[in-house]
């Protein structure tokens, strides 16, 4: 089992019994999501924004406009952190202070650099699209060179990380278990609904297999 080494930067202090530094477990959390919360500093102000991402190995790819304030700030800093979280259940206890949630979260730290070589950018955007939906890249038109030139692609190399996971039931005070108050879990999940075709779609264009595969894998 490969783990990230612990340091003051990534060590989980509160709820350390829920912490994990296992690389595979952290990658599984990343692969189950598509949106990460990226933190950065702009003119002395701390800002956090959601960003779509792709992962390959220990590299995370982000992209946006060349005028994107967040990406240019990250490149100036040459480092970043990002958190991905999945909410799995509401934990309803017998007292207000023992209400909680079940979740899986991963926080990443590492270095940032711009990808400028066209083949590298193309490979990074392929990774991004395949992370969003496997098979999508081959079902769309190729990018025009000028589109690629206008796009800022950033590679975030994960140098250290930690996960925090709660996947247990209610934890009430011993004297409260006899109270006539309902307690338990309300499981939550993100699901896909049936694809809706664009109203400007050309005639006879059917929903492609990769879209239906994604729907069938993620529907209720």
Q: How do residues 114-147 score in pLDDT, each as one tens digit?
A: 999 999 999 999 999 999 999 999 999 999 999 9
**Residue 1's pLDDT band (cuts 50, 70, 90):** confident
Give the pLDDT confidence of 82-114 residue by residue, as tens digits: 999 999 999 999 999 999 999 999 999 999 999
Considering the entire predicted model, what is its pTM?
Answer: 0.93
For 153-202, how does the pLDDT look when each residue is reduced to its tens digit (9 = 90+)? Answer: 999 999 999 999 999 999 999 999 999 999 999 999 999 999 999 999 99
The residues that bridge with 160 in the sheet, in sequence order, are: 109
CATH numbers and ranges of domains, the chain = 16-189 (2.30.110.10), 190-220 (no CATH)
CA distance 137 to 47: 32
């Amino acid at each position: 089992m490969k783990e990230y080494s612990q340091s003051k930067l990534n060590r989980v202090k509160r709820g350390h019994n829920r912490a994990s530094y296992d690389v595979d477990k952290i990658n599984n959390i990343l692969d189950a999501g598509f949106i990460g919360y990226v933190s950065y500093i702009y003119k002395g102000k701390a800002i956090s924004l959601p960003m779509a991402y792709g992962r390959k190995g220990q590299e995370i790819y982000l992209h946006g406009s060349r005028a994107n304030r967040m990406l240019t700030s990250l490149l100036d800093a040459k480092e970043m952190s990002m958190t991905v979280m999945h909410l799995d259940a509401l934990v309803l206890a017998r007292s207000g202070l023992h209400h909680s949630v079940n979740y899986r979260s991963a926080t990443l730290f590492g270095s940032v650099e711009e990808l400028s070589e066209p083949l590298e950018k193309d490979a990074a955007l392929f990774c991004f699209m395949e992370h969003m939906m496997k098979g999508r890249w081959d079902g769309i038109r190729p990018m025009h060179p000028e589109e690629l030139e206008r796009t800022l692609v950033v590679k975030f190399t994960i140098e250290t990380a930690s996960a925090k996971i709660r996947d247990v039931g209610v934890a009430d005070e011993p004297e409260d278990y006899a109270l006539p108050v309902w307690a338990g879990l309300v499981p939550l999940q993100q699901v896909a609904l049936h694809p809706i075709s664009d109203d400007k779609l050309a005639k006879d264009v059917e929903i492609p297999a990769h879209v239906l595969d994604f729907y069938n894998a993620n529907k209720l």
